A and B are shown apart, each in its own frame.
Chain A
């Protein structure tokens, strides 16, 4: 059989099997639950969400005023005489006496005050909306225009705000070119009727409308508001949408994970392994239906939302990444509970890596490390360039391909059906990639292949730390980056030491360290072509990619790190692995900090 036709056979078989196990008993109940879901959603929409009811206590001496807060369930109002209220004022978060508002001097009191202010604005607008002369009630209209501006890491480097702290006195002068702008017209381009409708609408607006408005692009009316309608523009609108895309993908990858796991439960996959089909065909064939389903779901959501179909492009590497990880988790977990915990852990990490940067879409270059940012940009109608696509997806493609390769190489009987603990199984998987004949070449290649994962982990730490005030964020980043690198460099050595205790002689250690150091450097260099120049040139970049300036220094550092960890392994055996790692990381961090100090001073 050719590879393509055997892949097809496996894919068809996988579809049939999953349909029959899931089909008969699950579908009726699932359909019933879906009907229930629709009913419950309708009920929830009508009754509202009662999560934050009764958070604040408010004491009021006038029933007229009590009517203002009545619609807001966050307040529990107490009507009483002014004297009694003042007597027990500490039992309330807010007390209103004769139109004067007093708030408790606590976080809670301040939060209650904010909420009350918003409610009051709503009430004033509601009264004004009933006026016959609209422009007496609403004399001021705001035309909100947005201007694009991106910042790079330099803005946050000196601990400076991302905004523009102003000095009093002279107005700032732009350094760049100034485009001439024609001042906007002073006449209202929309009719009074439209404005009235708009005001009537906003009173009853549902929270979800904000998110659907993102997709439909909003009418021209959207940009005219009264001052009280100027709510803070949360940059999270598009992100909610992105969540809608990711959730089904995560769910479908769970099915693939289970399908891989089921091959191992009770040695069910033995029949499959005894067929003349190659492991590559088995793995790809099994993954194919799930990949197709994910693409179809994403396309359906895109159609439904009316977003451009190009948003599927950045989703492809994300889908591959989820599938690749599902494969590895399904192949390594010993039991269902381990599978659950590991997959929950993985999806939390992956989700934060994907999501957090998108919060900074249009704001900060960091956002581009997540493919989902491209989805956000695309939905906004900005699109993305081929270069941006490469930047944000290369790590996902690289890691997915490597993980699939590792999975396929290890898709064998002795690996699939063993019951070893997770860590040692992973070490087995790695040592499978180290050839007996050319251990040093294998170590070189292995070190190169760990680079995408190292970059990913380092990007995650960057995402975590970049908005913390300056000196602290640098130190945290330096230390964590060093630890990640030392760990990645040592795993090959550790795996060999486990597999073949006799291998670790001083001579072999030295050779291995040199091979790993070179491999690591080669991988870094290759991948750096594809990473973001703005990140690599920033101060954070110099922490992560010090190897840019000089070549032999980082090479020596890499080799020294491996030698330290390997030395610990050689002298005190495998129990000393962790302490070796810590020592190597400390040395590495000190080196980096020394260099940074040089760069900073």
Chain B
């Protein structure tokens, strides 16, 4: 195989991509998703954590309280962002429906040291983003009340948990785990999947448009042609993934070890691209190849996710800088598997090539 020929083919495919302006769609897609996720973030953060946006200094949620007196009232006193209103239950529920209060609790007159449990009824607005916030806040209050009741009834207990003392946390949901543990690996993986779909298109198109004979009449061998296409698709992976990391940076999401993450993305991308190439060489028809590849992709993805220290997990660890040197051998392993696949693709392509020229 001549490197020059592979380079020529890769150049041809990349030029084709840019002249067809398909790459514009890829860029548009990235910008759209980035815009969308950042808007979603801004919106959700504003809803979850009002203080996240300037202009709201402090916000307090009103809670309607109905029923008997209890230690729960003191627990509510401790929270400065919840304001308790003693109300009649019917009034309180009507106010909740109009969102004049954010939650309603009803407390029965069960004494704290009774045999039976205390049954508090909590009314929230159904399926509401705001309810999620209130839920978290009210949960803290109720847990404090539970702790108190447990102390009252401690004489009836047999074992006690190890106690931990937590500092005051700021409250409010934060999206750190969602962004670093899910969004970043998925966004980095996306270009690899797109490139794998692309290689299938490039190979099956040569078959279906019957342009193979023309290509084979040049000095380029079939295997060189396949590798040229693979190279073109592989170049796109780190470029697009890098663009993602830059976009995330513009959105104020700092990612550590970007270079190592891109290496992992390139290795994983190469594996997927070669898998796509194998499927495409076997079927030579886009519909079947894409169908089989998509199914295979789901299988591979599920399998990889279930293995500890998988590349996606390593990307997460790298992004939050807790990876350690363990990711290098795994990168080598993925690259090795990709090399094996590459060998299989070459062998297959040579066999096909002999058939074409014969």
Contacts and interface: CB of A to CB of B under 8 A. Distances in A.
A467 B302 contact: no
Contacts of A348: 29, 32-33
B143 to A, nearest CB: 5
B351 interface: no
Contacts of A34: 295
B151 to A, nearest CB: 10
Contacts of B215: none
Contacts of A265: 208-209
Interface in A237-285: 251, 254-255, 258-259, 261-262, 265-266
Given A142-B120, A173-B91, A352-B36, A111 B174 contact: yes
Nearest to B300: A40
5 contacts: A50-B306, A74-B177, A186-B110, A187-B116, A337-B17
9 A-B pairs with the lowest CB-CB distances in the bound complex, closest first: A166-B62, A186-B108, A467-B43, A171-B85, A336-B201, A111-B176, A136-B156, A139-B149, A146-B126
A124 interface: yes
A166 B101 contact: yes
A553 interface: no
Contacts of A145: 121-124
B162 A65 contact: yes
Contacts of B303: 40, 43-44
A33 B299 contact: yes
B139 to A, nearest CB: 4
Contacts of B90: 178-181
Interface string A183-207: 1111110000000000000000000
Contacts, number: 436
A335 interface: yes
Contacts of B122: 142-145, 230
B358 interface: no
* B interface: dominant SS: helix
A101 B120 contact: no
B121 to A, nearest CB: 4
B55 interface: yes
A536 interface: no
Interface stretch (B218-226, B315-323, B341-349): B315-323
Contact of B153 (A29, A68, A135): A135
Given A137-B150, A227-B143, A258 B286 contact: yes
Given A26-B292, A136-B150, A178-B90, A168 B95 contact: no
Given A55-B320, A142-B120, A230-B139, A178 B102 contact: no
B146 A165 contact: no
Contact of A176 (B25, B94, B194): B94
A487 B256 CA distance: 42
B12 interface: no
B99 A151 contact: yes
Contacts of B83: 166-168
Contact of A172 (B62, B124, B158, B322): B62
Interface of B: 16-17, 20-23, 25-26, 28-29, 32-33, 35-36, 39-40, 42-44, 46-47, 50, 53, 55-56, 59-62, 64, 66-67, 83, 85-87, 89-91, 93-102, 104, 106, 108-110, 112, 115-136, 138-139, 142-143, 145-146, 149-150, 152-167, 169-170, 173-174, 176-177, 180-182, 185, 194, 197-198, 200-202, 204-205, 208-210, 283, 285-288, 290-292, 294-296, 298-299, 302-303, 305-310, 312-313, 316-317, 320, 322-323
Given A232-B135, A341-B26, 8 more contacts: A30-B292, A111-B174, A127-B161, A140-B118, A164-B62, A175-B98, A345-B29, A352-B36
Interface string A339-353: 111101100110010
B247 to A, nearest CB: 15
Most B Cβ at <10 Å: residue of A51, A99, A116: A51
Nearest to A228: B143
A100 interface: yes
Interface residues of A, number: 147
B36 A336 contact: no
B165 A100 contact: yes
Interface stretch (A7-15, A155-163, A540-548, A567-575): A155-163
Interface stretch (A356-364, A445-453, A556-564): A356-364
Contacts of B26: 341
Contacts of A259: 287
A498 B17 CA distance: 25
A233 B316 CA distance: 26
Given A33-B296, A147-B93, A140 B145 contact: yes
B95 A174 contact: yes
B117 A50 contact: no
A598 interface: no
A140 B120 contact: yes
Nearest to A143: B121
Given A33-B295, A341-B25, A362 B126 contact: yes
A469 interface: yes
Given A51-B185, A337-B198, A57 B322 contact: yes
Contacts of A383: none
A437 interface: no
Contact of A54 (B64, B177, B202, B317): B317
Contacts of A181: 89-90, 93
Nearest to A465: B39
A468 B132 contact: no
A549 interface: no
A444 to B, nearest CB: 31
Interface in A98-112: 99-103, 107-108, 110-111
A502 interface: no
Given A21-B288, A29-B292, A345 B60 contact: no
A142 B142 contact: yes
Contacts of B25: 341-342, 344-345
A110 B59 CA distance: 21
Contacts of B116: 135, 187-188
Interface string A2-37: 000000000000000010011001100110011011
Given A147-B123, A334-B20, A469-B55, A37 B305 contact: no
A269 to B, nearest CB: 13
Contacts of A53: 308-309, 313, 316-317
A232 B119 contact: no
Nearest to A130: B159
Contacts of A123: 161
A177 interface: yes
A135 to B, nearest CB: 5
Given A159-B55, A172-B85, A234-B132, A149 B125 contact: yes
Most buried by A among B125, B136, B160: B125
Contacts of A230: 122, 135, 138-139, 142
